[in-house]
Structure 1
C-alpha cells in the first residue's frame, strides 16, 4: 500500500510505499496511462536527476482481431504483438481466454516508425505447408506527437516552443473633414480592402484603441429621439467615446419617423428597432466596421443579442433592458433574465439598461415610498442569474426627477451587470455614469483598462509552503552567510528566495488545470479497473490517483482561499465556483479607473490616477516637519496616572524567543503581505530553518532601537468608504506591513496592554481590554432620549470627526505624551504606534462657566470616545460651546489633529431651538439631526423602528446575492449561515432588543438560503425551530436569533446586577436609573424605550441567578434570590 504521495514543482510525483514488495509490484505492473498520458515509473536512487525526457516510445493497448485460436497462448500473443512493438502483457480477460473476438495486448510502441494496420502470420499446416493469416491491428489510443519539439503529449499548434507570430498592427489614419458646398456631391463610403481603415470624419480615436480589449458599448434612456438636440447628444456620445454598440431606451419614435431619426444619428451604422414594443421602447445601433450583431430574442422589456467582435474573433451576449415602472410587471423581466441565464453557459454576458428599480435605500436620495419589496425581488433575480455588479464611476445616481424644490428625488435606476465569464475574460471592466445632458437619465458607458497591467510585485503563495521542495529550497538559501546585521541578512535571504518561488509557481502551472488533469487520471484508472476489478495492482493504482487528486485539490483550495480572502470558510465546500467568483469580484473591485480632483478635473488614465493618489497622500502624510519642544508642565494636569517604576521596568524586559515566535504565529496567514510579499504562512512553515535568525533580527531591533528601511517599508492599500468612490478622500488608507514589522509592533502592543486601563479615561472605550463598544452606544442612546421633547432642559451634543486622526498626529506630541505617562525612554524609542491621546478634561472641568448635559453632572461626564470617534455633551448655552471650541483648538495646536468641519455636527434638542443660530456660529459645525449614525448604529430620540433596522436585512441580502447560493452545496450553506450570516446582526443585537418583525425577516432569509440557496422563498424540509437545535439534539447548530439577542442584552443586565463600575454606562445607570432601587423592584414602565426593554429581561434572567449571602449589605431579603442553606 502507498503511505504518502509528494509532488515536486516540475511535475514529478514521489510514491512512498509501506513495503518493498508493493513498490516492485507497481513498477513491474507498469507502464501506466493516466488520462491518455504515459506515466513512467522508476525506482528512486541517490543522485537521480529529475529531468523530463523526450520519449518516442509509449505504451499503447492494441486489439488483435481475427487471431487464430492456436495463437491464444502467451508465446503466440508475444509473436504476433512483436510485429507492432515490444510486447508487454495482455489484459486479464485475454489471459483467461473468455473473450475470443479479439485479443487485447499492451505493447511498447515506437511512434516514430510506421504504424501497421495488418500483420500477416504464416501458420504451419499438418502437411508441412504454411497458411497465411491476416490479423487486423486496432490501436485503442495514440498520443499526439509534436513535429516541432519531437515530444509526445501535444500537437504542434500547442507546442510551447512555437511562438505565435504577432498580429499585424492596424494603423488608424485621421481623415480631415472636407469643406462641403452645394456643388459637392457625397459618395457612399466603401470599406477598403487593406488592413488599415480610415475612420469617419470627426471621429477622434485614442491611442488605446490600437489594441481593442473589448467592445465599447453604452446604454442610455434618452427620453425621446424625435428632437434634433437629442439626436446630436447621442451622436456626440458615440463620437466622444468611440462606441461600437449602443442601446437606446424610450426613444418615442413612431414607425413612420424611424428612417428620418436614423439619418439624423449616424446613417452608416446598422439599427434594430423593436417595433413590437410600445413606443419602440428599445433600439440597438452598432458600427459594422467593428461588430456584427444578431438579435437572438426580444421581449416586452429587453432585447437579447449576440455580438461578434471582429478584432478578437469572439462572440459575446448583450441584453439591453428597459424595465417597466411597476413591481408586478417587472416580475416578467426577472423571469426572462433567469431563463436566459440557464442557457448562457460560459459565454461572456453583459446586461445593461434602465431597470426602473433600486437594490437598497442607499441608492435613493430624497423622499421615496417603500422600496423593500421591489428591491428584494431584484436581489433575488441577481442571485438566480449569477450576475455581478462591476465598478461604477461618475454620477452616483443615474436618474433625477428634475424637480428643484423639496420634492427633488435621485435614484440609481440604471446599471450594468456581467456574468463570471465576462469578468474572467475582462477583469478590468467598469462603466461610467455620465451627465444626463438632454435626458433625465445618465448614459452608461462600458470601459476597460486598455493600458494593460503593470508587472505585479512578488507575492508568496501559501500553497508553496506545503510542497516537498519548500524546506530544501529555504535551507539552500539560508545556509549562506551574509555579512552585515542580522536584520540585513534576513532581508537579503528573503530577496534571494523570490526567484526560486517564482520559478516553482511557474512550474506548478495552473492549479485548476492540474486538478482537472488529476480528475482525468482518476477517471482513466477507474476505467482500467473496470476491466479487472480484483486486480491488486489496479486497485493500488486507483488509490494512488485519489491521493494525487487530493493533493492537487488541496493546493488549489489553499490558493483560492488566500486570493479570495475568505478566512471565515473552514468547512463545507472546497474549490467550488464561489471561490472563483470571489476572486474575480475582488480583482475587479481593486482597480481605480477614474478619479476626480479637487479642482473639478476628471482623470481616467492609470498614470494620472496614480499621480493624483500620490500627490494627495504626500500632502496628507508629509505632516508638519517643524521641530517643537512641548513643555510637559502644560500637559501634566491632564495625566490621570503615571506609570510606577515596576510597571515601567516590565515594559523593557528582554524579549524572549518564545515571545517572538508566539507573535509571529498569532498573525493570520490570509492577511495581506507587506512590500516584501511574504505572508505569515511562509514564516510558520519555514520556522525550523529560519526561526533562530529571524529571532536574532528582531532582538537586534530591541537592542539597538533601529529598523532597517526594508523592514519598515509599507504599502498603502486603499479601501473604498462608499460604493462608488469618485475622489481620493473617499478611500480609506490601510497599511500593509512586512511580517517582521508586524511582529515587533505586536510585542510592543502586548506589553503596553496591561498599562492602558489606568492611563486611558473611562469615557474612552477603545484599546482597553474589558471595555466594550456597546457601552458607548447604550449610554449615547440614553443621553439622546427625549431630544424631540420641548419640556426638558436645553441640551446639545457635538459629534466630532477628526481629520485622518492616525495620519496627521504630530510625532513630538506623541513623544511628549509617552514621557508624561512615565514610559521609559527606551520604550519610547521602540514605540511606533498604538499611543493614547490625552483628553482635555482639566481644561473643561476647571472652568466654572461650563454647564453639564442633563443627567451627566453627578458622574462628571461630558465626552464619549471610541478611538477617533468623539461625542461631546453639554448644556445648550454659548459659554459651554465656546469652551468646547477653545479645547478643540488647544488640542489641535498640540497634537496636530483637527476637526473635519464638513463631517462634524452639532445636534440640538428641541428645547434648544432658540439658541440654534448662535451655537452654530460659534462652532462652525453643520447641524445634525437624529437619527444619526454612530459607530455603525443609529442614535435615536425614541424607539427603534423596523425602518431603522433595514441595514441588517440589506447586509444579509447583499451577502447572499454576492455568494450565489446555487454554487454552494447544502453543507456549504450551513457553514455560511453559522459563521457569517448569523453574525451580521450580533452587533445590533448587543445594543438593541430587535423588533420581532425584524427577527422574523432575518430568520426567513436564513431559512430560504438554507433550503434554496437564495433569500427568495423556498420549500423548508424541516421546521426552523428544529434546525436551530444543537447538533447533539438532532439540529444543525444554527443560532436562534431571538435567544441570541436576549442572551447578549442579558449580559448588560448582569453587569448592572454585579455593579460593574469599570463600565461608564453601568455607572450612569446606577446613578440615574436605579438610584436607590434594585434591578428586581424598579418599575419597567419608566425610563427610555431601550431601558424598559432591557429591564423586562430580568424575568428571563431571574431563574439563573442565586445569591450566596455574605455580609448582607447589598442584599434584599424580599427580592433577591438566594441559595438554600446560605448563611
Structure 2
C-alpha cells in the first residue's frame, strides 16, 4: 500500500472530488464474513483540474457487481443537498406558528413514550417547514424582492412627490422592509451563535489596558496559587465515594416542578440539538409537550456507579462498555442491555458489535463471547480518530497519520509556493495534523523521524519525493530565530511537552475524568511506581439499531 501511495505522489495524482462517496467494493458474502472496501477511485492530475475545475465523480449503485460504477461529471456546480432544519426564534413573533405546532403535535402516534415524542417532533418539523415557506416566507428570498420594490417606489415618489397615496405605499413598504431586515439579522445572529452580539452592530469594546490586566490577573492567580504541590510524590487523595443517601437521592424520580424550572431557565439562544430544535422552542411550547416528555423520563441509565470506575464511553452512535473479564460481569452487561432495550425500544446490533480482551486465557474468552452472543474483536480499533490499543504504540499503527500528512502535501504539489509559504504551511497545517496524536501517545522514534523527514523534504523541494538536497541541517532549522534557526518545533520535544502536561494534570488535581481515574486506579503508589494491573479487562463496543 505504501508503494502505491508513493506512485500516486510521484505522478502528482490525487482523488477527484466526489458526491456521496461510499465504499466501492464488497465481497457480496451472505455469511458473517461480509467485507466493504474502497478500491475504486478517480485519480486526476493538475492538468485535469486546470481544464475542469468543477468536475466531480459520483458513485452509482453497485447492483449485482462487486464493484461500484463511477461516473465523472464536468458541470459547473456540485449539486447541493437539502439544508438541515433549524428552529429560529424570530418565528415566534408570528402567532400563527403556535396553531401550526399544536395541530401537528396533536396527531395520533402509537408506540413507546420516547418513540411518540421523536415522531411528533418530526411531524412538527415538517409542519414548520411548510409554514415557513407558505406563510412566514423565507427571509433570504423575501428580502431582496422587498428591497427592489422599495427602490422602485422611492424612485416613483421622487418623480411625483405630491402623490400622497404613492408616498403612503412607500412608507408602508419601508416599514415592512425594516421588519424583514430585522428578521434576517436575528436569523444570522442565531446562526453565528455569538453571545456577545445582542443588539445588532452595537458592540461592547473594552479598553486595551483592561484586557491586559485581565490576562495578568488570571494567570497570576494560577501560577501563584499555593494549592498546587511542588512535589511529584504528593498525589492527592482519591475522590470520595457517594454516600448511600446521595446515591438514593440521585436515583429518585425527577419531579415535574424541577423539570419546569430547568426548562424555564435554559438559554433560548444556545445551539440546537441534532433535530434542529433549540431551547427557545421547548420554552415556548413546553405547555404542549411537557406532559409526554415527563412520561418518557421513566428511562433511567443502568450504569450509575458510586465510585470512580469508568464503566462506559459514548460518542455519537458508538458505545464502549468496560468490565472485568469474568462471567459475572458479562451477565451484568447482558442484563443492562436488555433493560435498555425494553425502555428505549432500541436493540443492540450483534453483527456490528465486538468484544475486546486485554488479557485472559482462550477458554475464558470463548465462554464470555458465547454468553454475550457477540464475536471477539481484534485490537487495535479506531476510536475518536485514534487507534485504541492495549500496549505501546508501534510505528505500523502510526501509518494512518503519516499517510494523512503525505496526502496533504500532495494536494499542494500543483501550487507554486515560495520557501516562506512552505514554511508557513509546515508550522500551521502539518504540525496541527500530528498534534492530536502527539498529545495522546508516546510516538515511536521511527515515526517521529519519518514525519520530520517528510516536513524537511517539503520545505526544501516543495514535494513529497524522498530524494532532495538539504542545504541546512534540520537541527539548525529547528532552533529559534535568535539562535539562527527559523522556529520549527522538534516533534520529539513537542511529544515530551505533551507528556509532561498529562503528568501535570495528574499532580495538579485536575478535575477531568481521565485525571481522576489515573489518580484513583493507577497512581496509588506514586507517579514513579506505576504498576501494570494483573487482572484482565475486557471492552465491549456496541451499536444500537432501531
Q: Is the 8 A contact 1:957 1:1015 kept in 2?
A: yes
Note the C-alpha offset of 1:1032: 4.2
Aligned match of 1:943: 392
Question: Is the counterpart of residue 962 in structure 1 residue 411 in structure 2?
Answer: yes
* Equivalent residues in 2 for 1:484-883, closer than 5 Å: 626=110, 676=140, 697=183, 739-743=188-192, 747=195, 820=259, 823-825=262-264, 827=266, 832-833=272-273, 843-844=302-303, 859-866=308-315, 869-883=318-332
Q: Is the 8 A contact 1:388 1:418 kept in 2?
A: yes
Name the SS for the 2:376 alignment partner. Answer: strand
* Equivalent residues in 2 for 1:236-255, closer than 5 Å: none
- Residues 379 and 433 of structure 1: CA distance in aligned 2, closer, same or farther (over 3 Å): farther
1:433-459, Cα deviation, whole Å (9 max, x unpaired): 98999xxxx899763349997997999
What is the aligned counterpart of 1:988 among 437, 445, 458? Answer: 437
Question: Is the counterpart of residue 1021 in structure 1 residue 505 in structure 2?
Answer: no
Note the C-alpha offset of 1:995: 0.8
Aligned match of 2:44: 418
Note the C-alpha offset of 1:397: 5.2
- Residues 394 and 741 of structure 1: CA distance in aligned 2, closer, same or farther (over 3 Å): closer
What is the aligned counterpart of 1:997 among 427, 446, 449? Answer: 446
Note the C-alpha offset of 1:1026: 2.2
Q: Is the 8 A contact 1:395 1:435 kept in 2?
A: no
Note the C-alpha offset of 1:1054: 1.0
Q: Give distance in 1, aligned partners of 2:93 and 2:307.
A: 60
Q: Give distance in 2, aligned partners of 1:817 and 1:915.
A: 47
Q: Give distance in 1, aligned partners of 2:475 and 2:448.
A: 13
* Equivalent residues in 2 for 1:114-193, closer than 5 Å: none
Q: Is the 8 A contact 2:438 2:498 kept in 1?
A: yes
Note the C-alpha offset of 1:422: 3.1
Q: Give distance in 2, aligned partners of 1:881 and 1:988.
A: 32
- Residues 840 and 1049 of structure 1: CA distance in aligned 2, closer, same or farther (over 3 Å): farther
Note the C-alpha offset of 1:1013: 1.2
Question: Is the counterpart of residue 975 in structure 1 residue 415 in structure 2?
Answer: no
Q: Give distance in 2, aligned partners of 1:932 and 1:1087.
A: 22
Aligned match of 1:1065: 514
- Residues 430 and 627 of structure 1: CA distance in aligned 2, closer, same or farther (over 3 Å): closer
1:711-741, Cα deviation, whole Å (9 max, x unpaired): 6xxxxxxxxxxxxxxxxxxxxxxxxxxx344
Note the C-alpha offset of 1:1042: 0.8
Question: Is the counterpart of residue 1010 in structure 1 residue 459 in structure 2?
Answer: yes
Note the C-alpha offset of 1:886: 3.5
1:38-66, Cα deviation, whole Å (9 max, x unpaired): xxxxxxxxxxxxxxxxxxxxxxxxxxxxx
Q: Is the 8 A contact 1:930 1:939 kept in 2?
A: yes
- Residues 958 and 433 of structure 1: CA distance in aligned 2, closer, same or farther (over 3 Å): farther
1:829-848, Cα deviation, whole Å (9 max, x unpaired): 777428999999874568xx
- Residues 978 and 443 of structure 1: CA distance in aligned 2, closer, same or farther (over 3 Å): same
Aligned match of 1:753: none
Report the structure, 1 or 2, having the larger helix content.
Answer: 2
Unaligned runs of 5+ in 1: 1-357, 359-371, 401-405, 460-484, 491-623, 631-673, 679-691, 701-710, 712-738, 751-814, 847-856, 1089-1127
**Alpha carbon RMSD of aligned pairs, Å?**
5.4
Q: Give distance in 1, aligned partners of 2:339 and 2:139.
A: 38
Note the C-alpha offset of 1:948: 1.0
Q: Is the 8 A contact 2:14 2:410 kept in 1?
A: no
- Residues 963 and 432 of structure 1: CA distance in aligned 2, closer, same or farther (over 3 Å): farther
Q: Give distance in 2, aligned partners of 1:867 and 1:817.
A: 29
TM-score, structure 1 length as denominator? 0.28
Name the SS for the 1:963 alignment partner. Answer: coil
Q: Is the 8 A contact 2:299 2:343 kept in 1?
A: no
Question: Is the counterpart of residue 381 in structure 1 residue 7 in structure 2?
Answer: no
Aligned match of 1:1036: 486
Q: Give distance in 2, aligned partners of 1:938 and 1:1004.
A: 23
1:301-326, Cα deviation, whole Å (9 max, x unpaired): xxxxxxxxxxxxxxxxxxxxxxxxxx
1:679-701, Cα deviation, whole Å (9 max, x unpaired): xxxxxxxxxxxxx979965999x
Name the SS for the 1:448 alignment partner. Answer: strand
Q: Is the 8 A contact 2:312 2:320 kept in 1?
A: yes
Question: Is the counterpart of residue 1050 in structure 1 residue 500 in structure 2?
Answer: yes
What is the aligned counterpart of 2:72 among 448, 451, 456? Answer: 448
- Residues 409 and 1008 of structure 1: CA distance in aligned 2, closer, same or farther (over 3 Å): farther
- Residues 842 and 448 of structure 1: CA distance in aligned 2, closer, same or farther (over 3 Å): closer
Aligned match of 1:1096: none
Note the C-alpha offset of 1:1072: 3.5
Name the SS for the 1:942 alignment partner. Answer: coil
1:166-195, Cα deviation, whole Å (9 max, x unpaired): xxxxxxxxxxxxxxxxxxxxxxxxxxxxxx
- Residues 870 and 694 of structure 1: CA distance in aligned 2, closer, same or farther (over 3 Å): farther
Q: Is the 8 A contact 2:60 2:69 kept in 1?
A: yes
1:943-963, Cα deviation, whole Å (9 max, x unpaired): 211111111111101111122
Report the structure, 1 or 2, having the larger strand content.
Answer: 1
Q: Is the 8 A contact 1:844 1:883 kept in 2?
A: no
Q: Is the 8 A contact 2:17 2:55 kept in 1?
A: no
- Residues 1033 and 1063 of structure 1: CA distance in aligned 2, closer, same or farther (over 3 Å): same
Q: Give distance in 1, aligned partners of 2:260 and 2:361.
A: 40
Q: Is the 8 A contact 2:56 2:73 kept in 1?
A: yes
Q: Is the 8 A contact 1:399 1:413 kept in 2?
A: no
Q: Is the 8 A contact 1:397 1:410 kept in 2?
A: yes
Note the C-alpha offset of 1:1038: 2.0
Q: Is the 8 A contact 2:23 2:38 kept in 1?
A: no
1:569-628, Cα deviation, whole Å (9 max, x unpaired): xxxxxxxxxxxxxxxxxxxxxxxxxxxxxxxxxxxxxxxxxxxxxxxxxxxxxxx95587
- Residues 1031 and 695 of structure 1: CA distance in aligned 2, closer, same or farther (over 3 Å): farther
Note the C-alpha offset of 1:939: 1.9
Q: Is the 8 A contact 2:477 2:487 kept in 1?
A: yes
Aligned match of 1:427: 55
1:654-673, Cα deviation, whole Å (9 max, x unpaired): xxxxxxxxxxxxxxxxxxxx
Aligned match of 1:930: 379
Q: Give distance in 2, aligned partners of 1:445 and 1:458.
A: 24
- Residues 967 and 399 of structure 1: CA distance in aligned 2, closer, same or farther (over 3 Å): farther
Note the C-alpha offset of 1:977: 0.8
- Residues 994 and 984 of structure 1: CA distance in aligned 2, closer, same or farther (over 3 Å): same
Name the SS for the 1:422 alignment partner. Answer: helix
Name the SS for the 2:262 alignment partner. Answer: coil
- Residues 629 and 840 of structure 1: CA distance in aligned 2, closer, same or farther (over 3 Å): closer
Q: Is the 8 A contact 1:964 1:1014 kept in 2?
A: yes
1:350-380, Cα deviation, whole Å (9 max, x unpaired): xxxxxxxx4xxxxxxxxxxxxx3x2453143
Name the SS for the 2:11 alignment partner. Answer: helix
What is the aligned counterpart of 1:888 among 332, 337, 344? Answer: 337
Name the SS for the 2:469 alignment partner. Answer: coil
TM-score, structure 2 length as denominator? 0.54
Q: Give distance in 1, aligned partners of 2:317 and 2:82.
A: 34
1:135-175, Cα deviation, whole Å (9 max, x unpaired): xxxxxxxxxxxxxxxxxxxxxxxxxxxxxxxxxxxxxxxxx
Aligned match of 1:287: none
Aligned pair count?
377
Question: Is the counterpart of residue 905 in structure 1 residue 354 in structure 2?
Answer: yes
Q: Give distance in 2, aligned partners of 1:429 and 1:1075.
A: 56
Aligned match of 2:175: none
Note the C-alpha offset of 1:940: 1.8
Note the C-alpha offset of 1:965: 5.6
Which structure has the higher relative contact order (CA within 8 Å, separation 6+)? 2
1:244-294, Cα deviation, whole Å (9 max, x unpaired): xxxxxxxxxxxxxxxxxxxxxxxxxxxxxxxxxxxxxxxxxxxxxxxxxxx
Q: Give distance in 1, aligned partners of 2:182 and 2:70.
A: 54
Q: Give distance in 2, aligned partners of 1:1042 and 1:818.
A: 56
* Equivalent residues in 2 for 1:1-20, closer than 5 Å: none
